[in-house]
Amino acid sequence: MAQVLEFKLPDLGEGLTEAEIVRWLVQVGDVVAVDQPVVEVETAKAMVEVPCPYGGVVTARFGEEGTELPVGAPLLTVAVGAPEDSPEGSGNVLVGYGTQAPAARRRRVRAGTAAADGQVRRPGTADAAPHARVAAPAPPPAAAPAPVEGPVPVISPLVRKLARDNDVDLRRLTGSGPDGLILRADVENALRTQAARAATVADHAVPTPAPTAGERAAAAPAAPRAEDGVRIPLKGVRGAVADKLSRSRREIPDATCWVDADATELMRARAAMNATPGAKISVLALLARICTAALARFPELNSTVDTEAREIVRLDRVHLGFAAQTDRGLVVPVVRDAHTRDAESLTAEFARLTEAARAGTLTPGQLTGGTFTLNNYGVFGVDGSTPIVNHPEAAMLGVGRIVPKPWVHEGELAVRQVVQLSLTFDHRVCDGGTAGGFLRYVADCVEQPAVLLRTL
């Protein structure tokens, strides 16, 4: 006889606690193989296809598309072979999921339990009296459960926030998840119950006479309520960005300095590079190469602050993040070991990660672990900005648009290609002298690319 195994949403890594169902890849009744992707979910960092570690027939799905599930909540159930045939472990390892059959809840596929007299009874029901024919009286309405003692069985912080924002006492709820876990649906059901009770009370309330036309005219216009606007949930990428920027503002005492630079020679050097056979070099790659050279001279800015130990941790390797705007929002892919790459390698890696970002296929590992960020907001047609440091990094270089402007060159007024550079930095890791030295070196390399030859 078949067994039904429950597949729970696995830990997708990088401290993620929930994921939103974007698209089901299987239907109830479909036959799935081991490691076959069954659902596409969106985490706070990326779109991920989740493979199922079992092979069999899908018997149930938990959650519609658009539903947000906490890690550990049931995703689907699969009917596999006979119990004596132990299910083959999956070779596709997810964080928190081994390759062997997990200690999942198992139950046999049957509608009831056969009694000795051949009648079928539902599990958990008592045998009826042999000659009883009179129906038992209907049970009285169930009273609200009393508050439980001890920790509340809630995993998702989003569920806690939803309950807190709507004054729902989680201790009075009975969770529908495994082992009594309280899910988002439980809180939403409680809210619907509260709304129904309020509507019932309103229906029995004594009606008040309608105001006259004069009273309506004399009444002052009411102030706009929050309910009148459109509420957009802070979830997915937007929620992750909001959390990270808020944390940066709370923890990092940042400061910004900026300078205008004549980028004419840099653009000429790029044109000369691209005139030769081979891959074309991007401006972003040249700026990244300048960044890594500057960080070698000013390593204080390639660091992070360990607040618990009250220590500054200087990092030996440069993992360079760069801001990329996508349809899903702002993401910051990371180029690993950028200090070891030349302009061609940087150009290729920027192109690869940008394409993956636009397709929504970046993995959590490609979006974390940066040590310094390069933000080219000039692509939006703006000159300057004071960006927020990408926590837990210590600095970010901002680059505005490169446009023709009047500029004094060799004692005469000329039209040159000018760019504004800005550096936002954590004032805990260095003082203004270090930050100014870094930015001045970057500007010198932009104005005179030959300066880089000293470090090549």
Annotated catalytic residues are 427, 431
Please name which of 297, 308, 385 lies closest in space to residue 339, comparing C-alpha atoms.
297
* Alpha-carbon gap, residue 272 to 447, rounded angstroms: 16
SS3 358: helix
Give strand pairing partners of 398: 375, 422
**DSSP state letters, 152-182:** -----HHHHHHHHHTT--GGG----SGGG--
Contact of 11 with 98, CB cutoff 8 Å: no
Contact of 192 with 198, CB cutoff 8 Å: no
Alpha carbon dihedral 156, 330, 248, 298, in 10-degree steps, equals 140
Please name which of 2, 11, 12 lies closest in space to residue 54, comparing C-alpha atoms.
2
Contact of 276 with 353, CB cutoff 8 Å: no
* Alpha-carbon gap, residue 341 to 356, rounded angstroms: 20
How many of the other CB atoms lie within 10 Å of CB of 265?
Answer: 16
Tokens describing residue 276: 């030769």
Amino acid of residue 49: E
**Cα–Cα–Cα angle for 452, 454, 456, nearest 5°?**
70
